[in-house]
A and B are shown apart, each in its own frame.
Chain A
Amino acid sequence: MFEQLKEIMATKFQLAPADIQPESTLKDLELDSLDVVELSLVLEKEFDIKITDDELAEAQQVGRIVELIQSRSATV
C-alpha cells in the first residue's frame, strides 16, 4: 500500500519518489491545503474510499495516511 500511495503522490504532485518516505509529512513534501484536497480526491478515485482533506492534514505523515487508507478499505 505504501508503494502504491508513493507512486500516486509522485505522479500527481511531480515529487521525486525518493523524497516520499513513511515518516515524510505533507509539509516536508511542500503540499499546500489545495494539494491536500486534491490528494483526497485522488484517493477517492483510486481506492474508492473517502478521507477528507482535514483528516489527511491531521494525519500529516505518509505512513499514517497509509494506515488511514488501510483502515477505511477494511471497513468497506
Chain B
Amino acid sequence: MAADLIAVTGLGLVSPAGIGAPANWERVCAGEPTAERDPLLAGNPVDISCRVPDFHPAELLGARRARRFDRFTQLALVAAREAVVDARLDPGAWDGARVAVVFGCTQGGVATLEEQHRVLVDEAPTRVSPHLLPMELSNMVAGALSIELGAGGPSMAVATACASGTSAIGVARDLLALGRCDIAITGGSEAMITPLVMAGFAQMGALSSRTDDPKGASRPFDVDRDGFVAGEGAGVLVLERSSDARARRARTRALVAGFGASADAHHVTAPDPDGRGCERAIRAALADAGAAPDEVDHVNAHGTSTPLNDVTEARVLRRVFGERPLVTSTKGVTGHCLGAAGAVEAVLTVLAIEHGLVPPTANLVQLDPKIEVDVAVEPVPRRIDLALSNSFGFGGQNAVLAVRAA
C-alpha cells in the first residue's frame, strides 16, 4: 500500500505531437500521426521518424545555454520549465534541498557522442570537445535540471530502456513516500534518433519498414503493423505529497496511486510470450494502489506497434481485466519516444482523466484478431477514476503506473 497519496501538481510535455501539454493533447486527440521521412537518416534502410516539430533550442533556452546541452537535455529543460510554472512553484523561493530530480533516459546524448567520435576518427583525439562528457552522460539531464532549478535533493537518472520514464516516476513517487524529499521533478527524456542507433534498431527488425507511407507506419494493435517508429521528447510531472499540495493550495491534477515494476527474466529483447512479467508489474501497481482490476477504466498501453509487443500486452490485459478498460496507444500519433515514452504517456494519462476522454489509437484500421481488448479508435468520452500507463523495456524490464482522478 502507498504510504501517502502523491499528487501530480504540474505537467510539461514536449513530443512529436508538439511543444506544451495543451498542443500535445489536441494533436493526440485528433489522431493525427507525426511520422515523416527524416533527412538526417538519409541512407539508412529505415529513414522515417517522429521528431519534435519546430524545436529551436537557441530561442527556447538562449543560445549560450543551449549549446552546452545535448538535445535530450534541451527537451527536458523546456518541458520542466512548463511543469514548474504549471505547478505554480517558484524555484527562487522553494527549499531547494528538499527538491528531487528523477529522470528516465536510455541513451543520453548519443548524437553528441557520434559527432565527437567523428572528430576523433577524422581529426585527432586532441580535437575532441571537452564538453563531450558533460553533454552525453545520461544522468546529465537530471544534473542539468538540478542546477537549473536549484534543486539540491536527490538527483538521478533511471534506465530501464523503453520503460525508463515510467520507472523514474515510480522512483520519484517512492522518494516522496519515504520522505526523502518534498517535491519531485520527474519524467523522462530521449533524443536518440541518430543514424547509428536507428541502424541498430533496423538490424533487429524492430522498426516499421513502411517508409513509403510514414504517416501509416506506427499502427498499434492493427493487423498490418510491422514495427515501431522512433520518436523523441520529454515528459515532466511535478509530484508532491497530497498533504503538502493541499497546504499550499496547489491544484492537484491527478494522484499517482500506485507503481509496479518487474522483470521478465526471459530474453534481452523478446517479451515473455505469456507476458508473466508484464502481468506481475500490472498486478503490483494495482496492489500498490489498493485497487481491484475491475476498477480500472482506461489503459494507456505500451502498444509499440511491433507484432510481438502488442499481441503479448493485449493478452495480458485480457487476462487481468477482461474487456472492461478502454485501451489506447498514443504511439500511433507520437511514435515510440523510447526512454521518454512512459513520461509522455503519464502526462497524456493525466490529461485523459482530467478531460474524461480516451484519446484514439491512430492508424488502427483493422484490429488484429488475436487482440481481444477494447481499443479506442476515436476519442471516447468516458469518466476515468483509475487509469494505468504501461511501459516495457528491452532487458525485459516492466513498469506500470496507476493514476487516479484527483
Which residues on A are within 8 Å of B, measured CB to CB? 13-15, 30, 34, 37-38, 41, 45
Contact = CB atoms under 8 A, between A and B. Distances in A.
20 contacts: A13-B64, A13-B67, A14-B58, A14-B63, A14-B66, A14-B67, A15-B64, A30-B64, A34-B130, A34-B131, A34-B134, A37-B130, A38-B129, A38-B130, A38-B131, A41-B126, A41-B127, A41-B129, A41-B130, A45-B127
Majority-rule SS of A interface residues: helix
Interface of B: 58, 63-64, 66-67, 126-127, 129-131, 134
Which one of A13, A34, A38 has the greatest number of beta carbons of chain B within 10 Å? A34
Contacts, number: 21
Q: Interface centre among A14, A37, A38, by most B CB within 10 Å?
A: A14
B interface: dominant SS: helix
B268 to A, nearest CB: 36
Contacts of A15: 64
A2 B58 CA distance: 26
A-B residue pairs, 3 tightest by C-beta: A14-B63, A37-B130, A34-B130
Contacts of B66: 14
Contacts of B127: 41, 45
A13 B134 CA distance: 16
B72 to A, nearest CB: 19
Nearest to A30: B64
A14 B64 contact: yes
B63 to A, nearest CB: 4
Nearest to A38: B130
A44 B238 CA distance: 46
Nearest to B123: A45
A37 B126 CA distance: 11
Contacts of A14: 58, 63-64, 66-67
A41 B129 CA distance: 8
A14 B131 CA distance: 15
Nearest to B64: A14
Contacts of A34: 130-131, 134
A76 B122 CA distance: 25
Interface centre among B58, B66, B131 (most CB of A within 10 A): B131
A34 B126 CA distance: 14
